[in-house]
Structure 1
Amino acid sequence: MCTLERLFYFMVLAVKLQMSKSENCPRDNSRIVRNVVQQKLFPLYKMVRVEVPSTCPLLKERDKFVIQEDHKEMESITKWTCNFCGKAFIGEYYLDKHFDNRHAEYTKTDEDAICLADFCEIFRCDVISGRWKADFWDLVLCLEEDMKDLSQDCQDIVEMCIPKELSLNASRTLRNGVTSEVCSFLTCKRYWDTTETQVSETSKTIYIVFTVFLTCFLFVYYCVALNYFCTDTFSDTYEDDTHGIINPESLSSKKTKQEMFRQRQHNFLETERLGTNLFDMGVQIDSETVISARKKVKQEQKTYPEVENLNSHLFDIHPQT
């Protein structure tokens, strides 16, 4: 039992040590400094065709997490892969946690290893990440003397990162470039300026998702609008091969008229038969009445030609005189 307690104690101690290591060098702040160095400073060295000296604390090989960073693979904004073991994660944050828990042995522990998060005050990590937005009192209570101290620390780092063998002109160009990208922001006037710095990863994700959503919405909207105004999908009429464009509402009214006509036709037929019977019985029928009824039927035949065959036999009973 005592052995199990000791084992449990060592496990808890190991977890605490691992957490303290991670807290002592926050990965998110280190990432901000790393991005600024890679995107803003390293291109200046390529421009003057010189390598970053080993004395520079911003040298990539001195980065504490350089091995793990080289084994990250971003397949999409929601898929990050660990090239040590092949596991995939939905975000870089979870991949970093995986490195801390499963691949901590790939963290540099040499004497010259540097935690880039230690330079966050100079690189303004809280401002760039958006965690700190200046209010009225931040601007009022800002002291230029404190900013001068930060600026001096920045200049010291710049001097360590300038190769000694560099020519005077190249050295001046490199120094001015690094100072402009980093040290020039260390004043009360520009410290909270983010117009020339990179947008945080969260903001990029929000912009991408919003852009995709807006694009899909506009695509669907214009498809529906095009279908509505340029096709007959939403029309109240349709085109018939025989009668052209027909309104569906007119079909019911036309059907009603046809039924009424058939009813009158039936009544006329019965009257005609009755007249024939009366004629056979010797009863006189006014011929003008029959002729008038026949004219009315002919007029309705012109209106409804499709029922012409139904009443044509009426005129066979009493030929028109």
Structure 2
Amino acid sequence: MITLEEDVGDSVEIHCSRERSRAAWKIIEEYLTPFVEKERYQISRNCRLQPDNDLYRDQEQHKVHIDINEWKCGYCKKRFYEENFLDKHFDNRHRNLLNVSHSKCLADVCGALHCDLVMDTPKKIKCNPAAAARNKHLCESLADSCFPVSKDPSASRLHEFFLRQFCDAHTCTGNQKPFSRGRKKRMNMLYVVVSILIMLLLLLFYTFIYLYQRGMKRGTQNLRRVSLSGRKKKPF
């Protein structure tokens, strides 16, 4: 839920956890999106997991990670040492770019998506049955709205997948684990480019070795011929 409050300076304060929203998006990207793409299914805007519904999606896409300790704002090109400082910069300088009226707080579905598993938060010792029931209900409602079983076979398959992947683990019995269907990471373009370059370098290296050895062999044969020719011409 996005809560708005008026500050003293007439600016609007937004209450939506950026960190938990980012955790939810990471889970969606790794544990849901590859399977949705495999089915070639288009998630509608009615689904809260649809990228356009994420309040911070545009800002997250305008983050440029240059190096381990260097981040750049894609809007104004200002640089920062840590991602946390860039987040604060977005809040202070580019808050007006947030589409508050048509976007939703992705952190609100963190309970359903098991965000605590990908965040550095202390592990809960005791399971709360009431909280587990609430999260399961939210999870099942996401499955119904994002993948209506009556829409088509792909939606029906993804609905079943979503229940097994996320919802079944909302129990205090401990029998089911989150993300039981695993994840399928999409091929990274940088990985593809680096792999091709390595293959080309290996090809050049072995070609050089082959030509070098071939040249050495020819040189040895020529020396032998010269040596034999000299012996034949030597007078007794």
TM surpasses 0.5 = yes
Number of the residue aligned with 1:183: 167
Cα separation, 2, equivalents of 1:56 and 1:174: 13
Uncovered stretches (5+) of structure 1, i.e. residues with no partner? 1-10, 199-321
Summarize the Cα distance change of 1:129–1:191 in structure 2 as closer, same or farther, 3 Å threshold.
Answer: farther
Q: RCO greater where, 1 or 2, for CA within 8 Å and sep 6 or more?
A: 2
Larger Rg: 1
Number of the residue aligned with 2:119: 129
Aligned length: 177
Contact (CA 8 Å) 1:127, 1:192: kept in 2 or not? no
Aligned-pair CA distance for 1:45: 1.4
Picking from 96, 109, 112, the partner of 2:100 is: 109
Number of the residue aligned with 2:60: 69
Summarize the Cα distance change of 1:178–1:194 in structure 2 as closer, same or farther, 3 Å threshold.
Answer: closer
Number of the residue aligned with 1:57: 48
Number of the residue aligned with 2:109: 119
Amino acid of the structure 2 residue aligned with 1:90: Y
Q: Does 1:167 align with 2:140?
A: no
Summarize the Cα distance change of 1:195–1:150 in structure 2 as closer, same or farther, 3 Å threshold.
Answer: closer
Give % identity: 25
Contact (CA 8 Å) 2:63, 2:71: kept in 1 or not? yes
Contact (CA 8 Å) 2:71, 2:83: kept in 1 or not? yes
Cα separation, 2, equivalents of 1:89 and 1:195: 34
Number of the residue aligned with 2:8: 13
Larger helix percent: 1
Across the aligned residues of Structure 1 and Structure 2, the Cα RMSD in angstroms comes to 2.9
Uncovered stretches (5+) of structure 2, i.e. residues with no partner? 1-5, 184-236
Q: Give TM-score, length-normalised by structure 2.
A: 0.65
Deviates more, 1:85-94 or 1:157-166: 157-166
Cα separation, 2, equivalents of 1:195 and 1:173: 16
Number of the residue aligned with 1:153: 138
Contact (CA 8 Å) 2:165, 2:178: kept in 1 or not? no
Cα separation, 2, equivalents of 1:33 and 1:45: 16
Find the residue that maps to 2:121 and give its secondary structure.
Answer: coil
Aligned-pair CA distance for 1:193: 5.9
Contact (CA 8 Å) 1:53, 1:163: kept in 2 or not? no
